[in-house]
Amino acid sequence: GGVCCRDFNISLPQNIQALSGSCVIIKCTFETEEKHDKNLVPKSAATGLWLKDGDKINDHLVFHSTDPKPNHSNGKITGNLLEKNCTTVFYNVSSKHTGKYYFRIESSDLKYIYTVNASTINVLEGSSVSLRCSAETLCSSPPPTLTWSSTPRIPLSESSRLEELISDLNFTATHRQHRVTFTCTITYQLQDENKTAQDSITLHVQYSPKNTSVSVLPSSSVLEGSSVTLICSSDANPAVLNYTWSRESEGQMEQLQSGDTLTFDRIDQKHRGCYHCTAQNQHGTQNSSVMLDIQCEYYITANFTLSHSLAP
């Protein structure tokens, strides 16, 4: 029973690795609709549960913050659930703890299980992007180190605070970073070996049309009477909404049809001119043009013989 709404969000790392026999911290925050915040008050005594490899409480419950069982994982929620912080530490982890975990919040009439979706960021080209990677140092000595991948020429800033190491990436998004995955790797030095864990986030960049071009089949120099097709292409995200064609001839601009192709079944001299294609999406437009040169179908040649005689 209780409330179950699919637009709730949770922030969890995608992947965590831990050394057998040590502890592991799961950084965790969650969101609810504002109308349900009344359920997260001290008098309602919020409870956090972790489920493993499934979301059925009877079959997959491995941790209960207020009603632990002998077969449950040894741990505690260090975050304040009333502040929507579900950060949890598990102690003495082993290979049996490997699996996919789900978090459940129970507080008054609010009962909801959170799952984690693929981690992506959607931004508009030209906007500022800030990525932060943080690592808990509570369970590791010496402190871990953080490294980033997919970050050529992007400056790093690093800082540390009590029990946490932080590395920030700050940059301006460009269309070349569309679908680029940024991975932060945490390296722990434990005894005589290193252990690593990774978390990744993929950038989805929206941008206006780029690299717009017009190609002509079979070629831009065509024989009168032949069939010719102009094709316009462009790279845009979201994809181009529409292509529009226009022709410039003798200083006059003529609006033609829309669509990514423009076809002439039998081309003639009146079609000569410069053709412009405009690609457009909701973020802007870009133009490209091509000149059509129409060659005559027939050529007339004449030979002249000049006779010349001198008068006596």
Total Cβ atoms within 10 A of residue 171: 16
Joined together, the tokens standing for residue 116 give 């984690």
Q: Tell me, what's the pLDDT at 5? A: 32
Joined together, the tokens standing for residue 208 give 């206006």
Joined together, the tokens standing for residue 221 give 């120099």
Q: Tell me, what's the pLDDT at 2? A: 35
Query: 37 — phi, psi (to 5°)?
Result: -65, -25
Q: Tell me, what's the pLDDT at 100? A: 83
**In this structure, which amino acid lies at residue 176?**
R
H helix runs in 56-186, sequence order:
57-60
Name all domains of the chain by residue range, CATH numbers in brackets: 9-114 (2.60.40.10), 119-206 (2.60.40.10), 208-292 (2.60.40.10)
User: Does residue 312 have a cis bond before it (omega within 30 degrees)?
Assistant: no
Q: What is the DSSP track for 184-227?
A: EEEEEEETTEEEEEEEEEEEEEEEEEEEEEEEEES-SEEETTS-
Joined together, the tokens standing for residue 265 give 């079944």
3-state secondary structure of 50: strand
Exposure string for 96-110, b = 16+ CB within 10 A, e = fewer: ebeeebbbbbbbbeb
Give the rounded distance of the alpha carbon of 61 from its chain centre: 33
> Helix, strand, coil: what percent of the chain each, to 5?
10, 50, 40
Q: Tell me, what's the pLDDT at 233? A: 95
Q: Tell me, what's the pLDDT at 128? A: 87
Give the whole-angstrom CA distance, residue 280 versus residue 9: 34
Give the whole-angstrom CA distance, residue 96 versus residue 73: 10
Give the rounded distance of the alpha carbon of 126 from its chain centre: 15
3-state secondary structure of 103: strand
Q: Tell me, what's the pLDDT at 110? A: 85
Q: Tell me, what's the pLDDT at 277? A: 96
pLDDT along the chain (312 residues), means of 10: 42 61 79 81 84 88 91 90 88 80 88 72 87 71 76 60 76 91 83 78 91 86 83 94 90 89 87 91 94 69 51 54
Q: How far is CA 176 from CA 137, 157, 173, 288, in A?
A: 35, 23, 8, 21
**Residue 43 DSSP class:** G
Residue 286 contacts residue 279 (beta carbons within 8 Å): yes
pTM exceeds cut of 0.75: no
Query: 23 — phi, psi (to 5°)?
Result: -110, 165
Q: How far is CA 270 from CA 164, 293, 294, in A?
A: 73, 11, 9
